[in-house]
Structure 1
Amino acid sequence: MFSTSPNDAKERYCTHYMYLNSNIDQYAINISELNIPNFDKFLNLLDPNAQIICGVRDPIGILKHNWGRDWTKVSRNYPRDFNLTYDYRNYIEFLTHNKKTEIKVDFEELNNGVFILNFLLRYFNQDKIYYLDMNSIIPENAFKTLDFLARKFSFTPPHIEKQSFFKIQEFKGYIRYLFPITLYANKKDINNRLNPEIDPLNSIAITLDRPRQNEQINIIKLVIDDDLSNDIALYIQKEDLEKLTNDTQFFNAVKEYLHDFLFEIKKIDKQNELMMMKEKEVLSIFASDKALASKFLNIFQKEYQHLEQNRPDIINSWKYYQKFKNNDFT
């Protein structure tokens, strides 16, 4: 089991302690930020000889992600429920990437939530660390990697029937910040103008979400049968699906609305991919600011000293970091 982490060090410790002393026999503690009060005490109370899986990634790719995304999307300012009269283009506007005209380098943020490996190493037995390059868990490699890790660290391996879940791209555009949202489909809303009044009791709920374990039925392939189904699901109760399929006109209207909505999501996702910052843009920033490049070189060398000593193969596989180290900013 993997648990989300409270934003208070004591509460976080108590939560983990509770889970570790329950009947859960497989549990992982995530450490991905430092800027929490009394976090040093939290780290000192952990078992220094615990087995550790440490995810690492080409730092130029990390900066591309950190600098290039529109993090205002996290605020999620939009209605979570809608009906067939709602203009889904409002959701598409939310999903649209806003390319930054100026990059603000926040070293405090980077040192507290991104480049934290060197700080954490002092709290643990470094011989117990297994480095996992992020390329090992991209969709085409994820299932095989998790199967290997399960056998290496003695947790339950992923089941072959769940292989489709490993095709999900967590940071595919901004849909991770949009979903879940719920369409309340009602016959009275067909062909009507905007009617913001939602009638949940007399409507059929269809939830747009990421694919996950769910007792409801995923009907996305009844609406749009392509690779979008790797990243999006349409969940509906079995009895509601039966009601829809027994009313052909209503079902066709719902499918048409959802198909058009999903088609626009797919289109904006492709547009976003073209607009998102690329590694070459990060290198270009360093090319125009040698003092900034020198500062980051010091950060990277300190951050990855232990990794370079123990897994030089990972360091050497990082294409853009190698270009950065060699002053090749092309």
Structure 2
Amino acid sequence: MIKVLDNYELYFKSYQRIKILKKDVLCFELNEISGLNARKTFDFIADKFFNVKCDYSFFSKRINRHQGDLVVLPVVYSIVIGEICINIVITTKNLMYFNSLEPKMTNEDYIDITSEIFKERKLMFDNIILLIKQKEYNILKNNQKCFIDSKKYLNGYMDAFEENEIKIKNNLITEEEILQYLQMRKDLRLKLKDILDEELNFIKINYPKYLKQWKYYQKFEQMCNET
């Protein structure tokens, strides 16, 4: 936390962006982009600004990678058969679009072999996907030993992937622990308050109802007021 506060300009930038925009700023409470409410919210945004249809499949899955082992994706599993290198891309359905694989999937350059490799298991992340070029898939399938070995390796990789994910989640710092730490560090508490007072100024003026819904922010404010 000390490093974050010492370099706060790297992390707290929303108010600087808002000052540049100055007008036509829309503000949404976090609950409005939750899995349950995102469809309605992005329908509104799409109609207002872009006039395009939304792909609702994204709203039931995590899009960004700021969660445990998902940050390492995509990764590529490679195996050489003869003089040909076979590559299987381990990624997510969401990242597939950002990695420019979606057009190739449409043109059948890549195929999805997720269910074939992981058919005996339920994945922790159901948006993980395995992609391989059609020609390379044919070569791999025609070599049953390499195919079985690859399937075994990929399931082992996913075992380690999911085990490490559980370890990460078990060691996450909670909001309550952060508040407890700030309770002991008056200097950091007041420094963070000064930063948030500036960062949240626009919301305080225009959307005060949102701040009232932020449980831990309210606890933090109460803590600072009791100082």
The answer as to 2:47 corresponding to 1:148 is no
Offset, 1:158: 1.3
Q: Partner of 1:133 in structure 2? A: 29
Q: In the alignment, is the contact (CA less than 8 A) between 1:218 and 1:233 conserved in 2? A: yes
Q: Partner of 1:326 in structure 2? A: 222
Cα deviations across residues 60-116 of structure 1 (Å, max 9, x unaligned)? xxxxxxxxxxxxxxxxxxxxxxxxxxxxxxxxxxxxxxxxxxx43343521x22222
Offset, 1:252: 1.7
Q: In the alignment, is the contact (CA less than 8 A) between 1:115 and 1:303 conserved in 2? A: yes
Q: Partner of 1:122 in structure 2? A: 19
Q: In the alignment, is the contact (CA less than 8 A) between 1:168 and 1:230 conserved in 2? A: no
In structure 2, what is the Cα distance between the partners aligned to 1:135 and 1:217? 35
| Equivalent residue pairs, number | 210
Offset, 1:301: 2.0
Cα deviations across residues 257-286 of structure 1 (Å, max 9, x unaligned)? 101111110111111011122211211121
In structure 1, what is the Cα distance between the partners aligned to 2:180 and 2:38? 31
The answer as to 2:85 corresponding to 1:203 is yes
Q: Could you tell me the percent identity over the aligned residues?
A: 22
Q: In the alignment, is the contact (CA less than 8 A) between 1:169 and 1:231 conserved in 2? A: no
Q: Partner of 2:62 in structure 1? A: 168
**Which structure has more RCO (C-alpha within 8 Å, separation ≥ 6)?**
1
Please point out which of 188, 197, 200 is paired with 1:292: 188
Structure 1 unaligned blocks of 5 or more: 1-102, 188-198
In structure 2, what is the Cα distance between the partners aligned to 1:229 and 1:174? 11
In structure 1, what is the Cα distance between the partners aligned to 2:153 and 2:18? 52
Structure 2 unaligned blocks of 5 or more: none
In structure 1, what is the Cα distance between the partners aligned to 2:2 and 2:147? 49
TM-score (norm 2): 0.79
In structure 2, what is the Cα distance between the partners aligned to 1:183 and 1:285? 42
Residues 302 and 292 from structure 1, CA distance in 2 versus in 1: closer, same or farther, beyond 3 angstroms? same
Q: Partner of 1:182 in structure 2? A: 76
Q: CA RMSD in A?
A: 2.7
The answer as to 2:143 corresponding to 1:254 is no
Q: Partner of 2:114 in structure 1? A: 220
Q: In the alignment, is the contact (CA less than 8 A) between 2:5 and 2:191 conserved in 1? A: no
Offset, 1:175: 2.7
